[in-house]
Structure 1
Amino acid sequence: MKVLQLAVILTTYNVCSESANILAFPTFPGYSHFIIIEPLLKALASRGHNVTVVSYFPQKTPIKNYHDIDVSHTLPLVTNNVTADYSLKNFRNSIDFMQFIYDYSYKICEAIFKEKQIQDMINSTSDYDLVITELFGSDCFTAFAYQYKVPLITIVTTIGFPWTHKRIANPDNPSYIANYFFPVKKNMNLYDRFINTATTLLANIGYYYMSDIPSYKLTKKYFGESLPPLYEIYKNTSLIMTNSHYSFRQVQPFLPNFIEIGGIHLKEPKPLPKDLKELLDKSSQGFIVLSLGSMLRCSTLPKHVINAFIKTFSKLPYLVLWKIEDDLPSLPQNVITKKWLPVNDVLAHPNVKLLIMHGGMATTIEVINAGVPVVGIPMFADQSGNVKSVVNKGIGVEVDYFDITEETFYNAVNKVTSDPSYSENAKKLSRTFNDRLNTPLETAVFWTEYVLRHKGTSNLKSPALDLSWYQLALLDVIFVVFVIILTILSLIYIILRVVKHYLFTSINKKNKKE
């Protein structure tokens, strides 16, 4: 992000002269999700739009035109309270994680719909012009777009899920596009394509039966029996924005109303605290950062993993900054622990050598933006895919959590820090990632106001939305072609039979005469 970005946004694309009333639902109770959507909502408010936000993270300081509906009391926040054991038992397997998404999203809908303020909104005749929802699992809050007869924008804080693309009939061919639940590979072989296709189908079928149908029953309870099925409301989605970018994820086709805004949460690095800055300035040989994100409690890692980290760090000539919630005894002199680290700000320091990360999308984007090499230890969700993406770009290596020993971890760290190609590739990827016509936030603001100006995006609607699944798969065309070929072959067969019969009849008659 550039220094005067907000000022630029205030003046760029200033063609939406009337302020709009916008209702937003960034409703996942994890801050790593909220920080992706928050910059857009703040920017819209700064441009004069009245933005009402239903979320678990109300603003600490009031913002003009930004109105919070605080639901943080309805569910525990997913911040620094996920243990390593819980994440590996419930999230490591794709099937289990799909089930978690379906179930947890339902809980979010159930908890928020019970709120009196939300029920009042359902029964009111509020004059909104746009509804923005966050798509994780169930997108029950799209019902508000139907209720108010206004356009709908959906934001995904990672890459698109298999059920994301279906909403606007965006191309999602599993023969070459790896889905959210299948880690990216440079080239998929037959086995990879089979697994990718199977997980894509399973995810979409599971979403319909285990998320859509239960969520529709719940939503209809509050909005009334006349509410159409949620998948019918989804078809009217005007715009989808995803927190991704082709520079490090897969290159794939997108419709005009499918917009990548990866990096929207990035900010100009802030000055580091004086003591931390002095410490990093003195690290003449460089320093390493270990941070496993805002959800997972690093201190809950098994003892053998913690020990592998400590023993490896003791062998290194670098200063190590380690984000961990609890104090650790008998640490090497070159290791400094912090309960919280401003990772984006730290990565901007010129002496940084390496980031050891979990592979969350926000952190992955921050490290790519900074041009810093990585050692990735994915734990759950999209982290494996994100880590494999940057490994494919040659900016780091992956260490399987279940294979962590002092030897494997040291070899990975030593490999990346001693081979200059990783740092060179990281800087190259950073240049590609940042080489854009507009910043991600400017792009998001433009397209949001585009939807407002045109009261939707019917001009961008794909004809594929009007086709059934068998028409989209060309099964009807294949059937017609099959019938035509079968008819032609049948005619040829009949003609040959007739000719054969005529010839044999003629020959027999001739033989009899002779």
Structure 2
Amino acid sequence: MIYAIDTIETDNMTNLMQPLTPYIIHHLFRRPHKKSELYDMGRMSFLGQLSWVHTIGLTYTENVLKVKEVQELLKSNETFDLVLQEHFMNEAMMIFAHKFKCPLVLLAPGPPTIFNNHLFANPSPTAYVPNLLANFGSYMTFWERLKNTYYDIAGELFVHNVILPKQADILKRTIPGAPDLKDILYNASLMLLTSHISLRDPAPLLPNIKEIGGYHVGTGKPLPTDLQKFLDDATDGVIVFSMGSNLKSADFPEDKKAAVIKVFSKMKQKILWKFEEDLPEKPKNVKIMEWIPQRDVLAHPNVIAFITHVGLLGTIEAVYHGVPLLGLPIFWDQEKNIEDAVRKGFGLKVAFQDLTEETFGLAINELVSNPKYRENAKLRSRILHDQPTKQMDDAVFWIEYVIRYKGAPHLKSAGLHLRWYQRYLVDVLLLFVLISLSIFKITRENCFS
């Protein structure tokens, strides 16, 4: 039997866990956001964004561990073959694998980053692997490499000196008798990444880190009759517009909302807009819905463009179906996601603070009229689909592999047994410096004696 914990995106995790286990606990804590917080987050500094998300991580981790049923489970005599845990600023959750003395598999909501590389000693050379919050690609200029160095060093320091100590405090406070976090932190056997090489630049991955981006898309479901007809009747194509589950189009400043409406009113295409309240001034070609079955809508052949905040899962869904993007990034990895799409030729970007009738209109008309964006989106889609097994099957194989080989210790890097300064050979370099200085001093003294 497999025990799985989900603490962030329940709907997406359900697809992965359902074929694996009859016993699953879902507990989701979502901090209520003020709309100004989310729309202003992109203006924060690098460390400001880390701190903001870290605070949310502390809140949901502590609240989940305090749940009565979770506490009872941790005190029970249940047995499991494996723990599957979504990992993002919730390291205290690793107590479950320790409690049940079974292998741990992490599901990371994104590519390899400063938040998870250290758990596997996965190399991430700063010279050509951009930080998650960087808005540049692997081919960096000198100044971009300098900026990336700051991001990586500051990020590593934040992880080890802020995030992990706070998570250790939560573990001690909520689970009586729990071991020190550092004693259970590096025991994960496998990490599954929800990213995919079709979207991002290549980066090193150890054998126990696997990309399964696109696993959540799968076979589509039938659409509601009215929505199906709306899409079928769109002879000039449909543009889908959604800002995801946390951001809301209804929260747009009035000037930006008016700019979008004016642009849409001049277009011959139909617009399907995730808009969370009534919109009396909407043009005739616009259909609003409080919630859109996005994965299934993007699969429709008449969809020709996707306007999005560029969250990773929505970006993957668009690539899966070969739909080009117009990105309106707000915060976190959204900036990087759209910059990657622009560099790879299947997307365009309008910075949210720069959104006007002119900038928005030029971008969306360029996206739908120039065939190169759709051609490049189709190319990325072929890359995503062109693999020996489906992403879900790959995930199941490696999870079962870890169970078969009792944690698969043969996949773990020796780097896990080294301190950071040993991995980066800082101690060796210091020795060379000391020897060089000693030789220089001796030589200098002999020359002047």
**TM-score (normalizing by structure 1):** 0.82
AA at the equivalent of 2:27: S
User: What does residue range 324-403 of structure 1 map to in structure 2 within 5 Å?
Assistant: 324-403=275-354
Identity of aligned residues (%): 34
Query: Does the alignment pair 1:55 with 2:31?
Result: no
Number of aligned pairs?
Answer: 448
The equivalent residue for 2:216 is 265
Q: Any idea what SS the aligned residue of 1:85 has?
A: helix
Deviations 1:434-480 (A, max 9, x none): 11111111111111111111110210111111112221111222233
In the other structure, the counterpart of 1:25 is 5
Q: What is the distance in 2 between the residues matched to 1:455 and 1:241? A: 17
For 1:166, which of 105, 108, 118 is the aligned residue? 118
Describe the shift of the 1:383–1:489 C-alpha distance in structure 2 as closer, same or farther (beyond 3 A): same
Structure 1 counterpart of 2:99: 147
Q: 1:8-42: per-residue Cα shift (whole Å, max 9, x none)?
A: xxxxxxxxxxxxx22222112xxxx2233222210
| Structure with larger Rg | 1
* TM-score normalised over the length of structure 2: 0.94
Say whether residues 1:109 and 2:61 are aligned partners. Answer: yes
Q: Among 40, 58, 77, which residue is 2:16 paired with?
A: 40
Query: In the TM superposition, what whole-angstrom CA distance separates every residue of 1:136-169 from its partner, at most 9, and x where no partner exists?
Result: 1132110121222221111112223312000010
Structure 1 spans left out of the alignment, 5+ residues: 1-20, 57-74, 502-514
| Matching residue of 1:121 | 73
Alpha-carbon distance in structure 2 between the residues aligned to 1:128 and 1:304:
55
Computed over aligned residues only, the root mean square deviation of the Cα atoms, in angstroms, reads 2.1
Residues 251, 352 of structure 1: CA spacing in aligned structure 2 closer, same or farther, 3 A cutoff? same
Alpha-carbon offset, residue 262 of structure 1 = 0.4
Distance (whole Å) between structure 1 residues aligned to residue 41 and residue 324 of structure 2: 29
Cα distance, 1:220 vs structure 2: 1.6
| More moved, 463-472 vs 207-216 | 207-216
- 1:371 is displaced (CA, Å) by 0.5
Secondary structure at 1:264 match in 2:
coil
Task: Name the stretch that deviates more: 437-446 or 469-478.
Answer: 469-478
Cα separation, partners in 2 of 1:454 and 1:423, compared to 1, 3 Å? same
Find the partner of 1:203 among 152, 155, 166: 155
Pairwise CA distance, 1:414: 1.0
Deviation at 1:277, TM superposition (A): 2.3
What is the match of residue 193 of structure 2?
Answer: 242
Distance (Å, rounded) in 2 between the aligned partners of 1:303 and 1:480? 62
Q: 1:192 matched to which residue of 2?
A: 144
The 8 Å contact of residues 243 and 260 in structure 1, kept in 2 or not, is answered as yes
- Cα distance in 2, alignment partners of residues 159 and 113 from structure 1: 26
Which residue of 130, 133, 152 maps to 1:178? 130
How far residue 173 of structure 1 moved from its aligned partner, in angstroms, is: 1.6
**Structure 2 equivalent of residue 68 of structure 1:** none
What is the rounded CA distance, in whole Å, between the counterparts of 1:460 and 1:195 in structure 2? 33
Residue number in structure 1 paired with 2:365: 414
C-alpha deviation, 1:122, in angstroms: 2.2
Question: CA contact under 8 A between 1:35 and 1:265: conserved in structure 2?
Answer: no
Match of 1:311 among 262, 274, 286: 262
- Amino acid in the other structure paired with 1:286: G
Asked whether the equivalents of residues 36 and 243 of structure 1 are also in contact (C-alpha less than 8 Å), the reply is: no
Does structure 2 conserve the Cα–Cα contact (< 8 Å) formed by 1:287 and 1:353?
yes
Deviation of residue 424 (structure 1)?
0.8
Amino acid at match of 2:377: A
* Counterpart-to-counterpart distance in 1, 2:231 and 2:357: 26
Report the alpha carbon displacement of residue 186 of structure 1 after superposing the two structures with TM.
Answer: 4.9
**Alignment correspondent of 1:429:** 380
Q: Which residue of 1 aligns with 2:243?
A: 292
Q: In structure 1, what is the Cα distance between the partners aligned to 2:101 and 2:12?
A: 26
